[in-house]
Structure 1
């Protein structure tokens, strides 16, 4: 186990194809976005290298890349630490997400067919099961899959590309409020599906704005008594 403590089984297996530094980067990014590595946690190169079964060099290169992208803070004479997002950073990211998701919902309402609606319904059913069993990791993954499906149904590749750029950060911010949002989030999803199925673009847009705003507010309220 890492000295800071990772849940057993949390360290992903590294796939062999591709440059080693890229595979180490992906493994560490996954640990950060799922919060197996917590904001503020000290990242010790030798420990990470040992658990990933690699030398320290690709770990060092991956940490430098993560630092450039804002996931890790490299502090002189102290080492690497998982970045602790400020409230302003979270607010900016979630506000941008609202704009992207609202447009995706509008386009999905215009374009979705019965097969797409059925796929959304299935994701909601799985999401509710995850909530009922208190499986936060599954709920977060299914929430991401639900929003990705709406983006797919929107049929706009440029919009999808922009959304993909913020997807992992959205997951990072959503994880600590997933339990707080609970079944309410999935009830909002179900209502959104109804608007999309009715091809009601205006209502789908409004519901998605409200849905993403609820998540934004939950994030800011998560530590209040």
Structure 2
């Protein structure tokens, strides 16, 4: 059987499928959570989010359902939506997996990267150092994510890149609270790793990356423990039954 041949003028036409509004709202809200503009535990009010994003409440409601299914938001019946507060175990597990993926990425990058790849890494280091000196936390987080992604791209392993991409956004979420704390030390470690990649020292690049990601993991867990220790006891909210009045 001969394959169907479409006329050139028909084959060239493509249906433009714009991103559904709920997806755009989802992406915007996810970014607000990652950057800390919507803080862990914060109550998310549909009407307020709709007004802030310039949309109706329906796409916000749909976006909250998507965010809930992926662990970014908790939906509590009778109380509403709240930004998920990552547990220590969640962060520890994800950052441990990240360390494994990126250690191998650095090792392979040292074996496969050319001068152009090293130049890309150097430029990202410069951007991160400039953001650090300016006290720009969002700039540091963005440059950090871009540099780690670049290392994985330069590894030449597309499967590794797929896995790293899956954890990238959540890693950014966990890195944001410690970006200022890690600050200068983090970018010094990045620079030493790029040096190892440039001289094609795969073992050194892997070791530096493993130690680098482990320091970030420890910083996050230490800060998480400190915040839990200093957090005031949670106030339990109770729902009042219809027709009842508060006791005086």
Q: What is the TM-score when the length of structure 1 is the normalising length?
A: 0.91
Residue 72 (structure 1) shift:
0.2
2:162 matched residue in structure 1: 161
Instruction: Give runs of aligned pairs for residues 105-184 of structure 1, distance below 5 A.
Output: 105-184=106-185
C-alpha displacement of 1:163:
0.5
Question: Tell me, which stretches of 5 or more residues in structure 2 are unaligned?
Answer: 1-16, 231-248
2:124 partner SS: helix
Tell me how far apart the structure 1 counterparts of residues 169 and 82 of structure 2 sit (CA, whole Å): 18
Extract unaligned runs of 5+ from structure 1: 1-15
- 2:196 equivalent to 1:195: yes
Residue 70 in 1 paired to residue 60 in 2?
no
Worse overlay, 214-223 or 156-165: 214-223
Aligned residue in 2 for 1:38: 39
The C-alpha deviation readout for 1:102-131, integer Å capped at 9, x for no partner, is: 010011000000111111111111111111
Counterpart CA distance in 1 for 2:183 and 2:54 is 37
Deviations 1:185-215 (A, max 9, x none): 0000010011111111111111110000000
Alpha-carbon distance between aligned partners in 2 of 1:89 and 1:121, rounded to the nearest angstrom? 32
> What are the within-5 Å matches in structure 2 for residues 74-93 of structure 1?
74-93=75-94
TM-score of the pair, normalised by structure 2? 0.83
The ranges of structure 1 where at least 4 consecutive aligned residues each deviate by more than 2 angstroms after the TM superposition are none
Displacement of 1:57 in angstroms is: 0.9
Q: How many corresponding residue pairs?
A: 210
Structure with larger Rg? 2
CA RMSD, aligned part only? Answer: 1.2
**1:220 aligned residue:** 221
Aligned to 2:135, what secondary structure does the other structure show?
Answer: coil
